[in-house]
Structure 1
Amino acid sequence: MSGGVTLYRCGPTSVLCVMAAPAEYGAALRARIQPLMTGIGPVEAAVSLTAALARLEAAGELPDAIVSLGSCGSRDLEHAAVCQASSVGYRDMDASPLGFEKGVTPLLNLPAVIPLPCPIPGVPMARLSTGGDVISGAAYDRIDAEMVDMETYALLRSAQTFGVPLIALRGVSDGKSELTKLEDWTSTLHHVDASLADAWDRLVAVLQERGLDALDPAAPTLQDPACFSRPESLTP
């Protein structure tokens, strides 16, 4: 533990676990991990993880990988099922009036949808959309992804800044019916907790056997100043 943050050794790989809310952190996960709790939403996620990684970097203890665990919404996937996020986009970003593709951050040389590593055999993959709004009912019609959450894209951007790969595991807590109250989210989280714990166990086994070689080499890692560019359309 460094600065109150717990790192887990999975064979040759050190891992930082990250979650958003205590409601998602049930008995099965409590028996296995002590995650960094960031708070809910992209702003809290980015601030909390960046602060933690900065402290770890200063101590010379950056993790080899970050694992984000939590719930998600989906109107298509089975409830309580856990998926590896194969990609993530930022649905809040829309600079299309300036000529940018929806989801692309202006002057940042990254695509609207960023691939993520999916190292766990047997755990299904699905695309993920991150934003600050709760998606329910007809709002799914505008989402080009199978899952929605409120933190993963922000966590990824923080992780990229420090050159650390991120794995996202999401369990479906809602989406089949309209959300009308908090309990519509929390009532199934104990099932999600058990499924996430099983996925964590499988991930530990993979990392113990293969280390970082298990991660998709195509996944983006280090952010550097070259990521920022001025598009030709805006060049005087």
Structure 2
Amino acid sequence: MRLLVAALDAELVAFPAEIEGFGRLVTGPGKLKGAVGLTRALTAQTYDEIVVVGTGGAIDPRLGAAVYEVTAAVQHDVTDIDGIVGQHVSMPARVETRAVDAAPRRVLDEVTIATGDHFVDDAEAVATIRPLGASMVDMETYAYIWVAQEFGVPIRVLKAVSDRAQDDAITDWRTAVTACSAQLWEVFRADYGV
């Protein structure tokens, strides 16, 4: 059994309510809700793989409106005791996914995502985040990957570009989320044969 995870119901609007072989979890937005929701799910049941789907803001201008495979995550809203952005006092600076390799999968461009507990929507924030090596931003992926590692469960993260993380990005996200869900469903359906 696999677990399909999203932060928001809107990101799953194109997905059927039930998918054979998959449990379903909507955690709510942000790192804490993501971590607590996924921890509860993994405590209650054993899963072979976690498949996260969702939206993210593109901070690399080379990224088009497509679905990307996230293979690593950093945090953009933390600093260590020396004031270094992206470094946490006790958490790893970078976490990486471990997906199940047995399933045939569509080849997607791989990206690193920067996770933080606020919606990124201005050029100044993007300029601060880009040096961390990320191409996209979101609010949950770092937490999902970290929890999956703690439980020893492979995780795969698929993110559709919903906005450019610039001025009025929230308006762009609200307009794009349905189309992003359809893109995610297409990749998911092709890769998992549902």
- Does the alignment reach a TM-score above 0.5? yes
Aligned counterpart, 2:86: 103
The question of whether the paired residues in 1 share the 8 Å contact of 2:106 and 2:187 is answered with no
Determine whether 1:116 maps to 2:105. Answer: no
Aligned counterpart, 1:35: 24
In structure 2, the CA distance between the partners of 1:117 and 1:53, relative to structure 1 (3 Å rule), is closer
Task: For residues 34-61 of structure 1, give each alpha carbon's deviation from its aligned partner in whole angstroms, at most 9, with x where no partner exists.
Answer: 62010011111111111111111xxxxx
Q: Distance in 2 between matches of 1:159 and 1:117?
A: 9
The question of whether the paired residues in 2 share the 8 Å contact of 1:68 and 1:169 is answered with yes
Aligned counterpart, 2:12: 25
Paired AA for residue 114 in structure 1: V
Shift of 1:91: 1.4
TM norm structure 1: 0.69
Aligned match of 1:70 in 46, 54, 67? 54
Task: For residues 140-182 of structure 1, give each alpha carbon's deviation from its aligned partner in whole angstroms, at most 9, with x where no partner exists.
Answer: 11123111000011111211221111111000111165126x4
The question of whether the paired residues in 1 share the 8 Å contact of 2:120 and 2:165 is answered with no
Shift of 1:32: 6.3
The question of whether the paired residues in 2 share the 8 Å contact of 1:123 and 1:199 is answered with no
Q: Distance in 2 between matches of 1:203 and 1:93?
A: 34
Aligned counterpart, 1:198: 186
Q: Point out the structure with max Rg over C-alpha.
A: 1
Determine whether 1:164 maps to 2:153. Answer: yes
Paired AA for residue 168 in structure 2: L
Give aligned pairs, total.
Answer: 181
Determine whether 1:53 maps to 2:53. Answer: no
Q: Distance in 1 between matches of 2:74 and 2:18?
A: 29
RMSD between aligned residues: 2.3
Paired AA for residue 149 in structure 1: D
Paired AA for residue 50 in structure 2: I
In structure 2, the CA distance between the partners of 1:102 and 1:183, relative to structure 1 (3 Å rule), is closer
The question of whether the paired residues in 1 share the 8 Å contact of 2:81 and 2:89 is answered with no
Alignment of 1:80-91 (within 5 A): 81-91=66-76
Aligned counterpart, 1:229: none
Aligned match of 1:127 in 107, 112, 123? 112
Q: Distance in 2 between matches of 1:16 and 1:51?
A: 12
Paired AA for residue 178 in structure 2: H
Q: Distance in 2 between matches of 1:106 and 1:137?
A: 27
Gaps of 5+ in 1: 1-13, 57-61, 209-236
Q: Percent identity?
A: 31
TM norm structure 2: 0.83
Paired AA for residue 167 in structure 1: R
